Structure 1
């Protein structure tokens, strides 16, 4: 019979410690395996592969905080705040029933430049002050901020230009300058303007876009694309996307690439760059549908004096390349881009 009290049969201190650690380890594993998760908790899947976040949507530039206006003079602050008000509620002041002037179509600047021009990848103004004046191929001239603002009034708002010396123009310029606070000259901060989507291999399809519009857009912008007029009759709760009160075909959003990138990361209501609701194909096809519908025309005869500078999706000839207006409008765009790239290189 074995004497259990004999010293040789007693576990050593090291063995005791090892046994204790093993028991604790298995106990912990068992606890993790059988612990009941709360209603908002998710079990960790050890087989799940970590996906690196898209750097295009991280560390984006943001507008300066309002508290920083304390460093402005009273008159500067007043002008900046009026400028923001004009961008957010343009039609209240400058629309068909505006209190200052009637020079635009009833849309607000922020219908295209979201959150008064501060939404990342929402056609914001972050890079305007830092990059203007600059040469623009569309006009073939050096353009300043005044030209940039009046282009919006004449194209996106299908209206008339603002006088440079007017309080409204000076306020808008002050607000744009304010949004460019801390942006170095010549720098385009990440998240500025509109995100450029990768093109499709096929032509974009207005018929498919009509299906997307019916499912995800017309509840706000209405089946006829005419938008929803606010109760005061001065502006739109949801702006018109086509028809007599929408942007004309000289506007930036009439280019398919701009419209597709804009709606992909901002529409329908509630979507943003962090939580998009449309696929790339849906965004492109939606652009094809909306921009195939009737809208106001604009004399574009002075645009693109050097026709070789026309972008791939500018749909009005003549062109330096051999492609049709139809292909410039709906694609496929890759052959056009390749032709443009090849012939630009050959000029060097």
Structure 2
């Protein structure tokens, strides 16, 4: 086994231990199974052609720009090379990739992580602090206002306070025989390295990650929900699969 690959796999195994000490949300972000994101059973957000040509529409467009190119449009609050769209695919639209339309309508909500009822603005602040490894924008500032407007627009017509199918990420079950680093290396080399790099360093275009890294300062904080091995795999399952494509070697 290559040294770098071995280190990556060992780090991924360590994440659940560290993450166990971090209180996560009461409202689960794990689904019981993955479905086809194109299925009619999922809520369909409005098309961009439906965006109104007024001040509200302009604010929504600003939110979309921040979402897909966060480091360019909100540089003071990003501590790594990631953008919101690295984890929430198709500009926050895709079912089973934690779409914005499914999150917005569930707030305000109690979160055990900070032991209080959070507004949607506070939830977004947490994303910058942990997922972006940066600092929280002001709750009443322009960055949060734009992202909130974009989320609100994507949720147009969605029921409030109802757990929508495709809200989060699919669950990836733990391997029955435990983790096997040799088999993990086979899967990584065959399925992951082409995007994330042979040593998990990610791939950049200029200063921005096209494919995010799996370790180091360009990644999330351990306080982030994605930092555990099981949850991180769920993110990838939601991004790369529709419930049909799975890799049996784990």
Contact map agreement 1:125 1:193 (CA 8 A) in 2: no
Match of 1:103 among 65, 70, 78: 78
Q: Which runs of 5+ in 2 are unaligned?
A: 1-32
Contact map agreement 2:34 2:242 (CA 8 A) in 1: no
Identify if the C-alpha distance between structure 1 residues 87 and 206 changes in structure 2 by more than 3 Å, giving closer, same or farther: farther
Match of 1:65 among 40, 47, 60: 47
Correspondence for 2:165: 190
Correspondence for 2:73: 93
Identify if the C-alpha distance between structure 1 residues 114 and 56 changes in structure 2 by more than 3 Å, giving closer, same or farther: closer
Q: How far apart, in 2, do the equivalents of 1:256 and 1:103 lie?
A: 23
Match of 2:102 among 100, 107, 127: 127
Secondary structure (helix, strand or coil) at the match of 1:258 reads helix
Correspondence for 2:13: none
CA deviation string 1:25-71 (max 9, x = no partner)? xxxxxxxxxxxxxxxxxxxxxxxxxxxxx99444222222223323x
TM norm structure 1: 0.57
Correspondence for 1:219: 194
Please state how far the C-alpha of 1:247 moved relative to its aligned partner: 1.1
Paired residues for 1:1-348 under 5 Å: 56-57=35-36, 58=39, 59-70=41-52, 74-94=54-74, 98=75, 101=76, 103-230=78-205, 233-267=206-240, 272-273=241-242, 276-279=244-247, 281-282=248-249, 285=250
Q: Which runs of 5+ in 1 are unaligned?
A: 1-53, 286-348
Identify if the C-alpha distance between structure 1 residues 68 and 156 changes in structure 2 by more than 3 Å, giving closer, same or farther: same
CA deviation string 1:101-131 (max 9, x = no partner)? 3633121111111112111112212222211
Identify if the C-alpha distance between structure 1 residues 144 and 205 changes in structure 2 by more than 3 Å, giving closer, same or farther: farther
Q: How far apart, in 2, do the equivalents of 1:176 and 1:202 lie?
A: 41
TM norm structure 2: 0.78
Contact map agreement 1:83 1:173 (CA 8 A) in 2: yes
Return the structure number with greater relative CO, CA threshold 8 A, min gap 6. 2
